[in-house]
């Protein structure tokens, strides 16, 4: 800040014969105001209060904030919403023939809500005139869809495990009315020793992130599929996150902007492991560096940047508890042993989380 002011002060003095000093003073004041704003630091979280909102014998891995409500999808064909003002819970159950779908991915546009089930047959539903309507179905060996999101109200993406030798990616361009699967010839092949059967973990509906026209997809192989044109073309980036075992890889990723991203995972069968399970990128996913290797946190299924934190605040959650970093993942502290699968922030201090048998409100507190 001092350097900026000194530069402009010298600049004004140098040009004082050409530009009146009265024009430089407003510039100096503006720089001081901007500099003070830049220097304002958000206070770090020191604790989190967990307020239960909904409890039932369900596995809830997909939640979505929609206006003043929180929508969710669960197993046993159950889906519903919570009014965030009244805390009233509404639930429904959907049955397809004799199947009670297990929903682990949900998404929404300005007008519609979507749910996608795992396993074969994969069933993708959209709100319609008569409730939830089936808009996509896929059957076959290896079919298993993991996550879904939208770039905008017309274009959306869902991803799943490999079928016929490549990752499953389906895309809509008409607001979710129809979905088309990308062919293997349109996707990059395995590189750098990627493991066979590359897929994704349907743990929290957070292994896809979209910003603008870009999309990042995290896989079980510790790789990132990237598209800069809303899924028309793809390339693959490698991360140092460990993926030697079947249950290892990236479980979740988030981007604060088009450059700064973070990925986390581990091995849910060995949840205490904390080596090579978290990484950061500063160049949009092209290169990644390990974070806090061998330190807190251990296995986590969801990672989220704290809104309005400048990308410094990060929260990671899993059935192993809730951890927090105030410096882009360099150092972490464990805030709670409470178990959750997935988290969504409402603002910079309130989030909602879902897990085994429950949904809760998280209120993060500073000193």
Mean pLDDT in residue range 265-276: 97
**31 pLDDT above the threshold of 90:** no
What pLDDT, in 10s, does the model give residues 336-357? 999 999 999 999 999 999 999 9
What's the rounded mean pLDDT across residues 239-255? 95
For residues 239 and 224, the answer to whether their CB atoms sit within 8 Å is yes
Closest CA to 293 of 273, 270, 307, 321: 273
pLDDT tops 90 at residue 86? yes
pLDDT band per the 50, 70, 90 thresholds, residue 25 = low
Residue 317 has pLDDT above 60, yes or no: yes
Inform me whether the pLDDT recorded for 277 exceeds 90: yes
State residue 104's pLDDT score.
Answer: 98
Q: Is 147 left (phi over 0), alpha (psi -120 to 50) or beta?
A: beta
In the DSSP assignment, the letter for residue 193 is: T
pLDDT attached to residue 165? 87
Q: What is the pLDDT of residues 280-303, one digit of tens each?
A: 999 999 999 999 999 999 999 999
Residue 194 has pLDDT above 90, yes or no: no
Global model pTM greater than 0.75:
yes
CA 361 vs CA 30, 333, 352, 355: distances in Å: 40, 20, 5, 12
User: Mean pLDDT score of the chain, rounded to an integer?
Assistant: 90
Q: pLDDT at residue 329 above 90?
A: yes
In the predicted model, is pLDDT for residue 110 greater than 70? yes
């Amino acid at each position: 800040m001092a350097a900026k002011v000194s530069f402009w002060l010298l600049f004004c003095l140098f040009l004082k014969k050409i530009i009146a000093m009265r024009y430089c003073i407003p510039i100096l004041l503006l720089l001081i105001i901007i500099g003070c704003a830049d220097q304002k630091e958000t206070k770090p979280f020191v604790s989190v209060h967990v307020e239960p909102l909904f409890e039932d014998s369900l596995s809830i891995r997909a939640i979505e904030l929609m206006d003043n409500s929180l929508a969710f999808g669960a197993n046993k064909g159950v889906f519903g919403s919570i009014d965030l003002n009244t805390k009233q819970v509404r639930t429904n159950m959907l049955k397809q023939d004799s199947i009670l779908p297990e929903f682990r991915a949900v998404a929404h546009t300005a007008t519609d809500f979507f749910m996608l089930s795992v396993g074969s047959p994969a069933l993708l539903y959209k709100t319609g005139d008569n409730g939830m309507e089936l808009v996509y179905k896929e059957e076959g060996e290896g079919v298993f869809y993991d996550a879904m999101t939208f770039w905008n109200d017309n274009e959306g993406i869902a991803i799943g495990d490999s079928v016929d030798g490549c990752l499953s990616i389906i895309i809509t361009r008409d607001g979710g009315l129809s979905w088309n699967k990308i062919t293997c010839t349109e996707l990059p092949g395995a590189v750098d020793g990627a493991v066979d059967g590359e897929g994704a973990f349907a743990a929290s509906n957070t292994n896809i992130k979209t910003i603008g026209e870009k999309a990042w997809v995290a896989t079980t192989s510790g790789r990132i599929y990237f598209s800069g044109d809303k899924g028309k073309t793809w390339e693959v980036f490698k991360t140092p996150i460990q993926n030697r075992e079947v249950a290892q890889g990236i479980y979740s990723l988030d981007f604060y902007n088009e450059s700064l991203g973070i990925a986390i995972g581990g091995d849910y069968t060995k949840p205490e492991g904390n080596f090579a399970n978290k990484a950061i990128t500063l160049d949009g996913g092209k290169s990644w560096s390990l974070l806090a290797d061998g330190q807190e946190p251990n296995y986590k299924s969801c990672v989220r940047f704290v809104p309005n934190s400048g990308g410094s605040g990060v929260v990671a959650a899993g059935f192993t508890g809730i951890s927090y970093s105030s410096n882009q993942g360099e150092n972490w502290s464990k805030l709670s042993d409470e178990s959750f699968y997935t988290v969504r922030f409402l603002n910079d201090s309130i989030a909602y989380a879902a897990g085994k048998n429950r949904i809760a409100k998280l209120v993060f507190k500073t000193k």
